[in-house]
Amino acid sequence: MEKQKAVASLGQPSLLLPAWIKVALQANDRLKLYLSVMQSAALRAADPASSSPDWAREMAQLGLRDAVWLKEVAKTTYLQDQVLIVSELAQWLAALAADLSLMARPLCDVAEHRDAALAARRDRWLQEIETLSDEEGLSLAALNSLTHGNRRVGDSLHLLVMDLHKQLNAMAVAVATENIDGAHVWQVDEADRPLIRAFMRGLARTAALKFNHPGLDTAVTRDGARLLIQNDIGTNDAHVLVIQVEGQTIHLCYSDLHPTRFDFFRQMLQQRGFVWTVFEPRVSGELNQGKPYHVGNAVFKADDLVELQNALEAVASRIVFVIDWNRARKRLQFFVRKPVALAVLRFAAEHDLGHMAWLLAGGEQLVFEAMQTIDSEAFRIGDRLDLVLGEAVAQAFLQDLLRMASVKLRQQQPVGLIADEARLLLARVLRRRTFEFDLLAEHAAYCHALALSLSDAFEFGSDSAEAAQRAKAWERKADHLLMEARRRAERQTRWLPMVHLLEASDDIADALEEASFLHHLLLASPLPELPAPVLRVLAELADTTLAAIQDQVKAIEIARHMSEQVEPSDSEAFLQTLWRMLRAERICDDLLRSAREKIVLHLHAHPTAFSLATELAATIENATDSLLSAGYALRKLVFSKSGLAA
């Protein structure tokens, strides 16, 4: 007699639970595939021109490689009067019923584990499937009743499958026959143990970063040639990670309600050599009123056992970083834009810090309270951190805050101490206050781009029309930086000196953009080509202006890091660079006179070219006049910052 029948004859069906649970979890995978295939077929029927996924890999993994009827469902279904005409409908419904029965069996057919509510739902959906078998087709409404994920509108087969899966995972832990380094294990081979230990080693390395949050329970069993590893990421039904190890290949399936978190996890594993296949969710009001969840498969092929174990360890070590990840992202976005919040979370994961400590220590309140108590002039109610500090500084502060919270909480330091540390951390950032120079440095970069483009136009004869258009775009971006500084000054008066400096700098950008336009006009037909002597002196004017702006960029970078404790080498470098920049204005005065002499000598017979060339030379020289004003303003700002009289 077969072992399972012998056990059953003894009246001890609970002894069959490990085998039944294994079969039930396999049925769960098939049920999800059946529903996904039909949903995909319905979408293709509604839009025949659209493409549909290739389910071959999923079918092969679930032992359905030869299920021709399922392939027919995916390919031949069509829509007629809101009814799906499915050639293999009867077989599809029969498969749903059979696997639903198998999946529910451990929870509904074993007396000591029977869940009456789940059993009633199972019976109801088995009856519903039988009723649908009498129909000629499957209405869109009926498909929606099977597949929707919105509990507010009632039950569905999909919701029942999710609830059964959750309970099966809990039961698998309860009936495990062995514990290997914290994993609940049954029916595994001796060769599986190093793989299980590798996975649990990675899990243990970062598990402390979840603190008291539920999750990370692991169940392991063997199914024929495959070792199956199930990890309970958290409390969300659709947040599931299943790993299959066969030979030296890892197949991983991950599902998540949140597309951004899904992509975050995908990228972490992709960096470690996993190759992903992602099925983008499709939303249809007729087919799925609930939130879609996102599913992807990843594969890693190891060259040897050591590489296989390292890959399992790497996967396990990343799981903790998606627990409560979306809550952390939303709270970080109180202070920075979404891309920056994602960068902060990536930093926390890459450095094995995590975000849970920050959340447990107060999350956004840590930052809000620090902003309110540190500097009333710097922050006002409603201010965003990045708009006051600048984006780069705000990101660095948040990364340091998450690092500090992780270290202190793992040391079991009190939350009050972490709050004090947050205030000190922000105070240090404010004392440096180099973030005001971010706008100035960016503005100087646009001025440098304008000057370089003009210099290149003289030297290489580049397309003047294209250069003029590019210069206009850069000048507008520089204008926006000045507008941003003015907006900040309306809220915090400490920005006023920077506004004055940017106003002087913006005159440089205006002059250089105008010079680029005039150069374009000078090259237009039917004006004559510029004589070589005129071209040389104009090019020298442009080159001298470019060199002066390069010194301005350097002076700004030196000034950014100067404080009340000025290092002699810093002050010397700053002053040398500043005075070179200021001397350029005198040099350009002389070059302007030389340019006028050359223009009179060589262009007196061409009034239009004469006028434009004269205006071009004067406009370039005007840029150095504005550079002189900007240099003195920068000197005044630095001297004030260093506690000196200007």
What would the pLDDT profile of 511-566 be if each residue is shown by its tens digit?
Answer: 999 989 998 888 877 778 888 898 898 999 999 999 988 888 888 888 776 654 55
Residue 434's pLDDT is 60
Mean pLDDT, all residues of the chain: 84
Geometric angle at alpha carbon 190, from 189 and 195, rounded to 5°: 90
Residue 284 reports pLDDT greater than 50: no
Q: What are phi and psi of 243, to 5 degrees?
A: -120, 135
Geometric angle at alpha carbon 369, from 364 and 373, rounded to 5°: 155
Residue 231 reports pLDDT greater than 70: yes
Higher pLDDT, 162 or 381: 162
Pair 132, 96: CB distance under 8 Å: no
What would the pLDDT profile of 185-214 be if each residue is shown by its tens digit?
Answer: 888 899 999 999 999 999 999 999 999 887
Residue 569's pLDDT is 65
- Domain 436-641 belongs to what topology? Methane Monooxygenase Hydroxylase; Chain G, domain 1 (1.20.58)
Cα 48 to Cα 75, 76, 280: the distances in Å are 10, 11, 18
Name the pLDDT band for 11 (thresholds 50, 70, 90). very low
Residue 360's pLDDT is 93
Residues 6+ apart with CB under 8 A from 402: 344, 347, 348, 353, 354, 355, 357, 358
User: 3-class SS at 243?
Assistant: strand
Higher pLDDT, 633 or 566: 633
Residue 402 reports pLDDT greater than 90: yes
Residue 164's pLDDT is 94
Name the pLDDT band for 15 (thresholds 50, 70, 90). very low
Widest distance between CA atoms in the chain: 117
Provide the H-helix boundaries in 115-258.
116-132, 140-147, 157-175, 193-207
Residue 408's pLDDT is 94
Distance CA 142, CA 490 (A): 59
What would the pLDDT profile of 580-625 be if each residue is shown by its tens digit?
Answer: 877 888 898 899 899 899 889 998 888 888 899 899 989 998 988 8
What would the pLDDT profile of 18-74 be if each residue is shown by its tens digit?
Answer: 768 888 988 999 999 999 899 888 888 888 888 778 888 888 888 887 788 888 888
Residue 288 reports pLDDT greater than 50: no
* Tokens standing for residue 202: 């990675």
Name the pLDDT band for 309 (thresholds 50, 70, 90). very high
Q: Look up tokens 């002189």; give the residue.
A: 628
Residue 312 reports pLDDT greater than 70: yes
> What would the mean pLDDT of 246-254 be, rounded to a whole number?
91
> What would the mean pLDDT of 616-642 be, rounded to a whole number?
83
Residue 282's pLDDT is 45
Cα 413 to Cα 405, 407, 416, 418, 623: the distances in Å are 9, 9, 8, 7, 57
Q: Tell me what percent of the residues of the chain surpass a pLDDT of 70.
A: 89
Pair 91, 69: CB distance under 8 Å: yes
Q: In what order do the strands lie in the sheet with 83-85?
A: 78-80, 83-85, 138-139
Distance CA 118, CA 222 (A): 27
pTM beyond 0.75, yes or no: no
DSSP E strands, 233-353: 240-246, 249-256, 275-279, 294-301
* Tokens standing for residue 404: 């500090």
Q: In what order do the strands lie in the sheet with 178-180?
A: 178-180, 183-186, 217-223, 226-232, 240-246, 249-256, 294-301, 275-279
Question: Domain ranges in the chain?
Answer: 14-167, 176-321, 325-432, 436-641
Residue 643's pLDDT is 53
* Tokens standing for residue 553: 């960029």
Residue 486's pLDDT is 87
What would the pLDDT profile of 107-147 be if each residue is shown by its tens digit?
Answer: 998 777 789 999 999 999 999 999 998 778 899 999 999 98
> What would the mean pLDDT of 475-490 be, rounded to a whole number?
86
Residue 14 reports pLDDT greater than 60: no
Q: Is the dihedral of CA 59, 60, 63, 64 positive or negative?
A: positive
Residue 201's pLDDT is 97
Residue 432 reports pLDDT greater than 80: no
Range from 97-106, 304-313, 489-498 that averages highest in pLDDT: 304-313
229, HSE (Cβ side, Cα atoms, 13 Å): 28
Q: Cβ atoms within 10 A of the Cβ of 52, count?
A: 15
> What would the mean pLDDT of 395-416 be, rounded to a whole number?
94
Higher pLDDT, 349 or 526: 349
Pair 320, 207: CB distance under 8 Å: yes
Cα 626 to Cα 149, 555, 557, 582: the distances in Å are 64, 16, 19, 10
Q: Which residues pair with 243 in a beta bridge?
A: 229, 252
Distance CA 81, CA 39 (A): 17
Name the pLDDT band for 228 (thresholds 50, 70, 90). confident
* Tokens standing for residue 247: 């030979």
Distance CA 121, CA 103 (A): 13
Residue 305 reports pLDDT greater than 50: yes
The DSSP secondary-structure symbol of 248 reads: T
Pair 317, 73: CB distance under 8 Å: no
Residue 493 reports pLDDT greater than 50: yes
Residue 7 reports pLDDT greater than 80: no
Residue 287's pLDDT is 31
Q: Is the dihedral of CA 504, 506, 508, 514 positive or negative?
A: negative
Residue 462 reports pLDDT greater than 80: no
